[in-house]
Amino acid sequence: MILSFLDGDALMEQASRRDYPKWWSLCLLRLAGLKTLNAAFIPAVADYPTLVQAVRAFAHAIGQDAVLVRSDGGVESTSYRRGGLTYPVAEAVVAADEFLREGRAVILLEPTNRFSNRLSINATLDVSGAWAAEGLGCGFDTSDLQRGFVAPQWIWSASASSFEQKASGGRSILRRELSDVPHDVRVHARLDSLVDLFHGQGRVMTQSQIVEMLVTTGNTCLFTEDPPPSSRIVRQVFDAAWSISRYLRGSEFPFTIAYAILADGRDIFWDLTIGSLKWTSASRGSRTESATTSD
């Protein structure tokens, strides 16, 4: 099942299911008119010939010789093996088959370079309409925030009244905090995150080996601290949370939407997570600024 092949009715049908949250969220994001990578869903019960055919068909559909492999296991534990790496087609089959053997569905996506994302933002909206977001600059990814590996570089928030103001066509006030956590501390935490990622793929790598890999492949932006993104970009995520909220039931709040500007400059939404993900900065030194933005 390929995401771009689904019409409005098919998207609505897929967005009404909750058994595979990552796939559900991709369909919901598309249904809401938000930009996502093209994707394909392979159910956990697929046999090996079906898997091979699906990977080849998706690669052909997107005109690529590599695909990104994720997995979807329904209600997750904290111990499942991480995906999110891009592989040539033959290696993608092997990686996907390992997930199927673990009883997990597979999601294929267009290939990306997760080592040089330009910007990553996770934004959470609660049932009252209060909004909070965390961001990291080049070289990080949204999973660093979702799993609590890395302290955010920037934190934004907006009160419930900001959504009321937006609904009436008024101005919205976003509050921004700039983290005082040193950049080298974030880099060290990111490298620890990558050690964990590669370990889950059966590759034992030290931080120094990962640094060498990043330098050799030209993915060095991690080591340079970025300025804050523009208010226009933050507003885009703010607006996306607003758009998605209209599709959800009260019991599905709070939710978190993951946004990124990829290495090639494309901006996309990764997925939507339902749950009680907390955005706290109590243990992270910060200084606060206020920024007013308007449509």
| In the chain, domain spans | 3-109, 119-293
Q: Tens of pLDDT along 83-139?
A: 889 999 999 999 999 999 999 999 999 999 999 999 999 999 888 888 899 999 999
Is the pLDDT score of 8 beyond 60?
Answer: yes
Q: Tens of pLDDT along 207-223?
A: 999 999 999 999 999 99
Cα angle 233, 170, 281 (rounded to 5 degrees) comes to 50
Mean pLDDT of all residues in 5-27? 90
3-state secondary structure of 281: coil
Mean pLDDT of all residues in 43-69? 97
Q: Closest by alpha carbon to 135, among 286, 32, 26?
A: 286
Q: State residue 165's pLDDT score.
A: 57
Per-residue confidence band for 171, with pLDDT thresholds at 50, 70 and 90:
low
Per-residue confidence band for 172, with pLDDT thresholds at 50, 70 and 90:
low
Q: Closest by alpha carbon to 83, among 112, 54, 59, 63?
A: 112
166 or 102, greater pLDDT: 102
Which CATH code, of 1.10.10, 2.60.120, 1.20.120, 3.30.470, is assigned to 119-293?
Answer: 3.30.470
Percent of the chain predicted with pLDDT > 70: 86
Is the pLDDT score of 295 beyond 50?
Answer: no
Identify the residue whose tokens are 């590669």.
198
Is the pLDDT score of 80 beyond 80?
Answer: no
Distances (CA, A) of 143 to 148, 273, 275: 8, 12, 15
How far is Cα 87 from Cα 65, in angstroms, rounded to an integer? 9
Percent of the chain predicted with pLDDT > 90: 64
Q: Tens of pLDDT along 17-53?
A: 888 889 999 999 999 999 999 999 999 999 999 999 9
Mean pLDDT of the chain: 86
Q: Is-above-0.85 flag for pTM?
A: yes
Identify the residue whose tokens are 């009883």.
103
Identify the residue whose tokens are 């990578």.
37
Q: State residue 288's pLDDT score.
A: 39
DSSP state, residue 38: -
Per-residue confidence band for 277, with pLDDT thresholds at 50, 70 and 90:
very low
Q: State residue 294's pLDDT score.
A: 34
Is the pLDDT score of 281 beyond 50?
Answer: no
Per-residue confidence band for 202, with pLDDT thresholds at 50, 70 and 90:
confident
Q: Tens of pLDDT along 246-268?
A: 888 877 889 999 999 999 999 99
Is the pLDDT score of 159 beyond 50?
Answer: yes
